[in-house]
Amino acid sequence: MKIQQALISVSDKRGVLEFAQGLSGLGVKLLSTGGTAKLLREAGLAVTEIGDYTGFPEMLDGRVKTLHPKVHGGILARRDLAEHMTTLAQHGIPTIDLVCVNLYPFAATVAKPGVTLEDAIENIDIGGPAMVRSSAKNYAGVAIVTDPEDYAPLLAEMKAQGGTLELGTRFALAKKAFTHTARYDGMIANWLTGLEEGAEAKPAEAAPAPSIFPNRLQLAFDRVENLRYGENAHQSAAFYRDPTPLPGSIAAYTQLQGKELSYNNIADSDAAWECVKAFDAPACVIIKHANPCGVAIAGNLLGAYEKAFKTDSTSAFGGIIAFNGEVGLDVVHAMNERKHFVEVLIAPSFTAEARAALASKQNLRVLVLPLGRQLNTLEFKRVGGGLLVQTADDFTAQADRLKVVTRVQPSAQQIEDLLFAERVAKFVKSNAIVFCGGGMTLGVGAGQMSRVDSTKIASIKARNAGLELKGSVVASDAFFPFRDGLDVLAEAGAVAVIQPGGSMRDEEVIAAADEHGIAMVFTGARHFRH
């Protein structure tokens, strides 16, 4: 289909002048509105304003400009129906073959501090979505362009094909356009249904604060790829990411080598990456089945890796490893020397020497991720017939906010180890018990129905790894409901405990700690992870 007339009306003007110049150079007539028309005209392009085109001026502060039969008739007429084309001729309506539209910046408007309801409403586009939907519906005869990233490839295709665009191109643009308007409307719905009752009746200058949990939740994600299968081979699966992935999140990965990621690879890699980001010092996290089986900090990444591996070398086999700094050849050599089989290796960067040494391991998936501290605003969990939604667990204990509840006061070194242990416990499946010392995990008990059992398992794992628990510290993701858990960790050799507190039997547990000569601190916040 040859492009002969285009309508260009954009809020986001990135690249639009160059696009219009390219269209004009191909002999395409240009229609435009308001600021876009002014921009094109000042650049010396021949452009017809919509008001001159329709014979009807823009009115009502620009609310009515493209809502006109001469616009929508030229867009919606089916080129393959003689009746439609005859009707256009009778009314002197030329076809519009390409529509370039993006919408009023609603998201940017409501993101501004102090935005009023009136400002938000005024930045809801009407004519734009109507043109986008009309054009997308009639993709057989119209190309609809909503993304500046498409300008260059479209011009390239038109130049290569004598000013035409293929049906497949137009259909792809239509799908993108419907997605564009759906997300635009979803954004508006989320914001408006998040407002409190009576927001519309408050003074015009009032700045409403929508809830992060709207009454009608609209979600938008883009499919990255279909996966070979899900958690198990009989399950189908795909990976979707946010249209704008959070900086430093697993969705922003670049894969340097290895097989495609599986469902479990992505889930476990996310767990490893979120955990390693929690540390400022050089850190290594080894994950197996979404649980840390070894976490450590040191003066360098090699030291952190050596310590993390010691925690549970058996579980580390076939695991996921994440580092929070540039991985060098020394780390790769250390992994090779002990023939450490790893599914995925993640870091912000790898030296050229490390990359070369890893290249021979064709099955090893190597991911590069920018390091970032941001967390998703909301977390989702699908349940039967519904969706559980919560804010992220962004609590991290701080030394000056710990409450010492025992007669024994923790030492400065113990405080440091306790804070390290609390950061690790945050990423361990509940019920979680984590023994630590010297900047490394010594034993991890995860996912048990009883906290006592988690404590016993952590102790057993430490013993199996040949790690001494005498003098260690312990983190618990939630309070001890009875003293028995504390008795077990005391027997193992722990000298300090960090936990949220808040049990009906706190006094009993504190008394047990005093009895054993253990220092105990409360954080006031639990870290359940189901």
Catalytic site residues? 137, 289
Tell me which DSSP letter residue 167 carries: H
Going by their DSSP bridges, the two strands 283-288 and 433-437 should be labelled as: unpaired
How far is the CA of 155 from the CAs of 23, 24, 103, in angstroms?
A: 7, 11, 22
* Cα(130)–Cα(184) distance, integer angstroms: 12
Which regions of 369-472 does DSSP assign to beta strands (E)? 378-383, 386-391, 403-404, 433-437, 440-445
In the block, residue with structure tokens 């992935």: 245
Going by their DSSP bridges, the two strands 283-288 and 319-323 should be labelled as: antiparallel
Residue 447 · residue 469 · CB < 8 Å: no
Going by their DSSP bridges, the two strands 365-368 and 254-257 should be labelled as: antiparallel
Find all residues with CB under 8 Å of 324, minimum gap 6, and list them. 276, 277, 279, 282, 283, 347, 348, 371
Please name which of 33, 3, 177 lies closest in space to residue 16, comparing C-alpha atoms: 33
126 in helix, strand or coil? coil
Which regions of 374-463 does DSSP assign to beta strands (E)? 378-383, 386-391, 403-404, 433-437, 440-445
Angle at 430 between CA 429 and CA 432, to 5 degrees: 90
Q: How far apart are the first and last CA of the chain?
A: 55
Angle at 462 between CA 461 and CA 467, to 5 degrees: 150
3-state helix, strand, coil in the chain (%, to 5): 40, 20, 40
- Both tokens of residue 442? 């010594």
